[in-house]
Amino acid sequence: MSSKISRTTIISFAAMIFVGVILLALPAASSSGSSLGFHAALFTATSAVCVTGLTVVDTGRDFSPLGQVFLLILIQVGGLGFITFSTLVMLTVTGRSDLSSRLYVLQTHGGARDFRAIDILKRVIGLTLLLEFLGATALLLRIGGIDPSLWTRETIWNSVFHAVSAFCNAGFSLHSDSLMTYRDDPIAQTVIMLLITSGGFGFLVLTEVIRHLRRPAAQRRWWRLSLHTQVVLASSAFLILVPPIFFAFFEWGNTSAERSLLGRVFDALFLSVTSRTAGFNTVDTGSLTSASLTILLALMMIGASPGSTGGGIKTTSAAILFATTLSNLRGRSHAELFGRRLVADQIAKAMATITAFVAIVFFAGLALQVTESGFVPNRFGGTHFLEYIFEVVSALATVGLSTGMTDSLSGTGQMLLVLLMFLGRLGPLVVGASLIGESTPLAKTFPQERILVG
């Protein structure tokens, strides 16, 4: 990975956040007519560009219509992904896409074969706008009704805003209670979940699935899909369908106590879908049991898939970790998935990504404990360890879920979340590559020796 490209990506995103701060700090962007202030503007702009969804202000109440438009533009730019955005910058500056840039984009997208960088850029933008349009239309028909004469400016804007926010996995909502307004509307929830899921698949997976579905029925075979797509689809299906079983059990007598069977199913299913990157909620997250919050932590850490609008360590990294662990338990010399042997350097990259994520969570969680609770003994400090770790993981994985503590954190604590959102969106390895510089091969090879493990 070229450190020059990594630095370009970081600078580009930082510049977009800076522009966002200026726009959101304008008095015209505020519903009160006075500036939100630098602190709130910086936090919101970072959360929007990094498509996280954590907020320190009420989006629907505190932003004017113009401010909401600014916010949606920032979400859209961030949702297109740092891969395509950096490609656009390179093409604009140089007028061409050199080999290193092309290899970087293809590698980050998960291993495309014959795509040029500009082709990827066109496909990403076109597919994004198409799916967002379809999602907005579906929401409008549900919220505003089938009769166009009943549509209002508010219902149209509401549908467009939430469709873009859902597909970009941003989690921003115009409602003060996120999407709790639609808790009893399974159709609206289904549309939102489909947008979240499609945005979290990754653009290469979406285009390959669409191309696969266009084939004659006799030629649609699972094994015809690339290993990357198979892993993404299988891991996503598992993470969508299995966790709701635990959520339903843990919340049966809690947040779902008075719900119908269908309501309980959708409560659990929506939690499973939104928790990996989207940040919407139909149930008060702060009211969930500690067991449910623990499951949410794991889902947030895994996140979406490579080349998507979501964050986290990615589904493929989690799948590689699972396959590698399973192969070691079986005493095999290599890891495999769906009848294919995994490449050693991809295993190393997945492990490095997971290690970096866990390390950042540990030190950021420690820092947040210090900034918010100080050095008071735990038994007397009334500390909220789980809630602080939840905020850290939500920011780093660019999820946006919160137990309700974001706006009550100190200024230092909130700035820590800003840094985590920025790191989480770009990826620890991209940031590291930009700081370390160009990699150079070792001039010599050291002798090999074993150590005891386990």
pLDDT in tens, 51-107: 999 999 999 999 999 999 999 999 998 887 655 654 554 444 444 444 544 544 454
Of the candidates 274, 304, 306, 310, the residue with the CA atom closest to the CA atom of residue 402:
274
Q: What angle do CA 296, 57, 181 make, to 5 degrees?
A: 60
pLDDT of 146 reads: 84
Q: Do the Cβ atoms of 179 and 273 come closer than 8 Å?
A: no
pLDDT of 5 reads: 60
At 301, the pLDDT band (50, 70, 90 cuts) reads very high
Q: Report if residue 234 sits inside a domain.
A: yes
Q: Do the Cβ atoms of 396 and 435 come closer than 8 Å?
A: no
Run of H or E residues at 337: strand 336-337
Check pLDDT > 60 for residue 113: no
pLDDT of 101 reads: 47
pLDDT of 13 reads: 86
Phi, psi of 280 (to 5 degrees): -75, 160
Q: What angle do CA 222, 228, 229 make, to 5 degrees?
A: 45
Q: Report if residue 386 sits inside a domain.
A: yes
Structural tokens at position 451:
């150590």
More confident residue, 193 or 218: 193
* DSSP assigned state of 151: -
Q: Report if residue 73 sits inside a domain.
A: no
Distance CA 70, CA 72 (A): 6
Q: Report if residue 133 sits inside a domain.
A: yes
User: For 422-453, how does the pLDDT look when each residue is reduced to its tens digit (9 = 90+)?
Assistant: 999 887 656 555 555 555 666 777 888 888 87
Run of H or E residues at 341: strand 340-341
Total count of residues recorded for the chain: 454
pLDDT of 110 reads: 43
Q: Report if residue 95 sits inside a domain.
A: no
Model confidence, pTM:
0.89
| C-alpha gyration radius of the chain | 22
Q: Report if residue 30 sits inside a domain.
A: no
Q: What angle do CA 72, 75, 81 make, to 5 degrees?
A: 150
CA distances from 62 to 36, 40, 172, 351, 405 (A): 8, 11, 13, 42, 18
Identify the weakest region by mean pLDDT among 253-262, 315-324, 345-354, 390-399. 345-354
Number of structural domains found in the chain: 1
Q: Report if residue 44 sits inside a domain.
A: no
Q: Do the Cβ atoms of 50 and 424 come closer than 8 Å?
A: yes
Distance CA 368, CA 293 (A): 18
Distance CA 75, CA 70 (A): 9
* DSSP assigned state of 342: P
User: For 198-241, how does the pLDDT look when each residue is reduced to its tens digit (9 = 90+)?
Assistant: 998 887 788 888 888 888 877 777 777 888 889 999 999 999 99
Which range of residues forms the domain containing residue 290? 116-433
Residue that has been written with the tokens 């498509």 in this structure: 51
CA atoms within 13 Å, Cβ hemisphere of 133: 6
Q: Report if residue 150 sits inside a domain.
A: yes
Instruction: Read off the amino acid at residue 183.
Output: R
